Amino acid sequence: MSIPDALLQFALVAALLTLIPGMDTVLVLRTAISQGHAPAFATAAGICTGTAAWGLAAAIGASALLAASETAFTVLKIAGACYMAWLGITMVLKSFRNGSIPDARPAPGAGSVGKNLLTGVTTSLLNPKVGVFYMAMIPQFLPPEAPPLLMGALLPLVHNAEAMIWFAVIILATHYARRWLQSPAVGRATDRIAGVVLLGFAARIATTKG
C-alpha cells in the first residue's frame, strides 16, 4: 500500500465517520444556532486541533510499538481490526433502533472566539473515543516506506479537512442542516453505510498478512 492509497482509503473511512452526527457535530451546530458563525468556526477549529493532537500521539505510540516489537505492533493492528468491526456492527444495529443525535446544551448568549476555541480543543482532548479511533486507525494505514510520524500528521490533516468542510456546511446552513441531521431516515442510512464499510475494512485487515 502506497502513501496515496493509504490516504485515499483513510479519507473514505474518515468521511463516513465525519458525517455521522456525534457530540462534535452537535457542539458546532448548537454553537452556530446560539452564538453565530464566528464562535461556531472557532469551536470547529478547536475540535480539529484536538484531533490533530490525538493523531500525533497515536502515531508516536504506534511507532514505539513497531520499534519495540513487531509482534506487539501486529497485536495492535488486530485490535484495530476488531475495533473497526465492533464499531461497524454497532452502527448497523443502531440503525434498526429508534434514536436521535446526542443532546448538547447551547451556551447562553454570545461567547468569545477564544473561549469557543478552547471549548473545542477541550471537548476533543477529553473524548477518549478520538484517541481509541486513531490508535486503531494509524497502524492500518502505515505504508512500509512511510515514517509513522509523517502519517500521524497526514491522516489527521485529511480528517480535519473533511471535518472543516462538513462543519462549514452546518454553520452556513444552520437551519437546514439541523433538520437534515435530525431526520431519522438520514441517520439510519448513514449508520448502515458507514457500518458496512467499516466491516469491510476490518475483514480486509484481518485477512491480509504483513
* Mean pLDDT value of segment 36-58: 87
Tallying the residues shown for the chain, one arrives at 210
Instruction: Tell me the percentage of the chain whose pLDDT exceeds 90.
Output: 9
Measured distance CA(98)–CA(47) in Å, rounded: 28
Number of domains in the chain: 1
Residue range 71-84: average pLDDT?
Answer: 70
Work out the mean pLDDT of the chain and round it to a whole number. 76
* Cell numbers standing for residue 80: 484495530
Q: Are 27 and 107 in contact (CB under 8 A)?
A: no
The pTM of the whole model exceeds 0.95: no
Percent of the chain at pLDDT > 70 equals 71
- Find the domain containing 137 and state its range: 3-207
Taking the CB of residue 86, how many other CB atoms lie within 10 A of it? 14
CA-closest candidate to residue 154, choices 22, 4, 17, 24 = 4
- Per-residue pLDDT tens over the stretch 116-153: 898 888 878 876 667 777 777 777 787 777 777 787 78
CA-derived radius of gyration, the chain: 18
> How many C-beta atoms lie closer than 10 Å to residue 27's C-beta?
26
φ, ψ for residue 105 (rounded to 5)? -85, 125
pLDDT the model gives residue 195: 76
Neighbours of 81 (CB within 10 A): 21
Between 21 and 28, residue with greater pLDDT: 28
